[in-house]
Amino acid sequence: MSSATEPKTDQRSGGPRVGVFVCHCGINIAGTVNIPELVKRAGNVPGVVAAADYQYCCSDPGQNLIRETIAKERLDRVVVACCSPTLHEKTFRKTCAAAGLNPFLCEIANIREQCAWVTKDKDEATDKASDIVALTVARATYDAPLVATGVPVKKRALVVGAGIAGIQVSLDIANAGYEVLLVEKEPSVGGHMSQIFATFPSLELGRSILVPKMMEMLASPGIRLMTYSEVEKVSGHIGDFKVRIRRKARYVDPEACTGCGLCVTACPATTKSEFDRNLAERKAIYLLDPQALPGKPVIDPETCFRMRRGECGACAEICPENAVKYDDEDELLEETVGAIVLATGYQLIDQEQIALYGIGRVQDVIDGMGFERLLSATGPTSGEIRRPSDGKVPKKVVFVQCVGSRDQFHGVPYCSKICCMYTAKNALIYKQRVPEGEATVCYIDVRTPGKGAEEFYRAATESGVKYVRGKVSKVFRTADKIVVWSADTLAGEKVELEADMVVLASALVPSRSGVDLARQLKIQIGASGFLAEAHPKLRPVETLTGGFYLAGTCQGPKDILETVVQSSAAAAKVLALFGQDKLYGEPTVALVDAEVCVGCGNCEKTCAYEAVKVDPVLRVAVVTEALCAGCGACAVSCPSGAVSHLNFSKRGYCAAIEEVVK
């Protein structure tokens, strides 16, 4: 419960002592508003005992003036007429607190954004500014000296997704001494980075740089890894989240299993391997990859013969450790954490959306990730570049960029950022492996940001990769060749290319399960479809919901470097939170007068933050301050006036309106 109470008596008997400080803001306000006139008028507003002006109130001398006046004139309310409260409300509240005045008895009258900047005529601007000041003074006299109550912070983090982003976030938080719960929906960790053969621009093998991170994570005592698990429900608020996690049935006891792999060899049921982009098959009992970590298989009930039609028991029969458990069940766990980092990653755009490029329709048209799998030693062709249809080594490969990207009509409007670089890398590797082969890249632009990137692209062209500038319009087969219709805009012509294999750089979209989870948690999703950061430049790892942070490609397309950078940044924000024992929110929250409240529930229906609910036992509404954002919607919706919004009272607003209309 808040320790503040709504003033029930008229503050004016006994008289408030309001100080008004008018800021020039250089010429931003002074250039349009007549400051001396405004100060004079402010001095005449009822309740005002001191009115002054200064060039920049937010400066040290400006703040000193406010502090000195508070002491000298025994002020009990301060109104600063200046810029938007978004900029300096906190500053001036701190100033008042330093002078011994409760910070919530300080109000801002915005005469810049809402007056000087939008009014041309000086007289009009001065009149408007004077009205704004008068109404703010009136409202301020109904302010109460609020005190923020702190909520304790549970110093434990939940990280959703154990790709490189989730792994990096977890390491940074655990290395600082805090516990991390790392939840991954797949049976093993590593995300897309574990599918990639080589990275740009160094050509270091993906596995080589990923495995040390994975090993460090697995060995870290502070990180509790839960694979094959999903976050089902989150309630609570920053510092105190209650999370329900579903541990899916593996049907294999990971403690007993030694990872020998005999079960996989024995299993008769197969299905397409999504890990290998449908270029290979996997068994019903499977590991994503022979080098997966943790190396314990799970059974996919959709494919398993025993689970679908009761036949077979091959895996259980052959397992020397008796680790197969057909009667395994999902397990639900409830955990408490103080911060949640979403690192749910990306997926490639649905093949149906890019069907015109031939994928799924024309044999030997694959996507970039599929090509990575062909290059990988544990992939469908044991690391040899062979085309899916007949296993022959392709002598003419056409790489197509911008497949579904930069195209709002046939895909997504944004650029997927990494494709120019990985296409150059894949084409270069192809030329290294098949020197007599022809590699052609169809591009619109070649975007090479970052260290070594432009140099890498040059190396690709020097290795013999041909770059033809034109967007591909058609991919089809004639007899034994694939035909690609494109253009060479630099020569100003249409071109027709023949290919044995076509590799598409498909657009990146956020992982569907990540978006579903974000929707459920009411985390904002941007126009692009990716999870929304709180500010695109200045707050790139926070969300607008306190306690939720973002890391990696779930927030937008980016390469491994940027992912690691962002992950460490997200961890830093979590550590800043954990550095506090208690979290103090703004106390300008909703307050329910239990004697007036009839329990109608209108406020509960109105609240977007689930911060006010009708208590089933008390039969009146109760506010959870930690969740309350202080928006005031409930106070407006209450038919009996039982809900008030602290320091935004109806009486305060009525007094403000009276000042303006008189």
Partner 1 sequence: MSTPVDDGALIRQIEQLSDQTITDCYQCGGCTAGCPVGEIMEPPPSRAIRLLQLGRVHELLDSQGIWLCASCMVCGNRCPRGVDYAKIAEACRAIKLRAKYSRVDPDTIVIDETEEIPQQAFVAGFRKFAG
Residues of this chain that bind partner 1 (CB under 8 A): 356, 402, 406-411, 444, 469-474, 485-489, 492-495
- Smallest distance, Å, CB 407 to partner 1? 3
Q: State the Cα–Cα distance between residues 324 and 313, nearest whole angstrom.
A: 9
**Is 476 or 584 the residue whose CB approaches partner 1 more closely?**
476
Q: State the Cα–Cα distance between residues 378 and 515, nearest whole angstrom.
A: 30
Sequential DSSP letters for 38-63: HHHHHHTSTTEEEEEEES-TTSHHHH
**Pick from 512, 510, 507: which is nearest to 526 by CA?**
510
**Is 219 or 409 the residue whose CB approaches partner 1 more closely?**
409
**Is 243 or 497 the residue whose CB approaches partner 1 more closely?**
497
**Is 92 or 357 the residue whose CB approaches partner 1 more closely?**
357
The distance in angstroms from the start CA to the end CA of the chain is 38
- Smallest distance, Å, CB 410 to partner 1? 7
CB-CB contact of 187 with 296 (8 Å) = yes
- Smallest distance, Å, CB 528 to partner 1? 16
**Is 279 or 483 the residue whose CB approaches partner 1 more closely?**
483
**Is 33 or 402 the residue whose CB approaches partner 1 more closely?**
402
- Smallest distance, Å, CB 553 to partner 1? 22
Q: Which two tokens stand for residue 141?
A: 């006299």
Residue 123 neighbours by CB distance under 10 Å: 11
Q: State the Cα–Cα distance between residues 402 and 446, nearest whole angstrom.
A: 10
Q: State the Cα–Cα distance between residues 453 and 456, nearest whole angstrom.
A: 5
Q: Which two tokens stand for residue 484?
A: 């690609």
Angle at 515 between CA 532 and CA 228, to 5 degrees: 130
Q: Which two tokens stand for residue 129?
A: 């500014």
- Smallest distance, Å, CB 405 to partner 1? 9
**Is 224 or 471 the residue whose CB approaches partner 1 more closely?**
471
Q: Which two tokens stand for residue 123?
A: 């007289």
Is the four-CA dihedral 508, 509, 510, 511 of positive or negative sign? Answer: negative
- Which residue in the block uniquely carries the two structure tokens 């305060």? 652
- Smallest distance, Å, CB 515 to partner 1? 24
Amino acid, res. 598: V
**Is 492 or 616 the residue whose CB approaches partner 1 more closely?**
492
**Is 262 or 444 the residue whose CB approaches partner 1 more closely?**
444
**Pick from 282, 292, 473: which is nearest to 380 by CA?**
282
Q: Please state the separation of Cα 84 from the chain's center in Å.
A: 27
- Smallest distance, Å, CB 539 to partner 1? 31
- Smallest distance, Å, CB 309 to partner 1? 46
- Smallest distance, Å, CB 404 to partner 1? 10
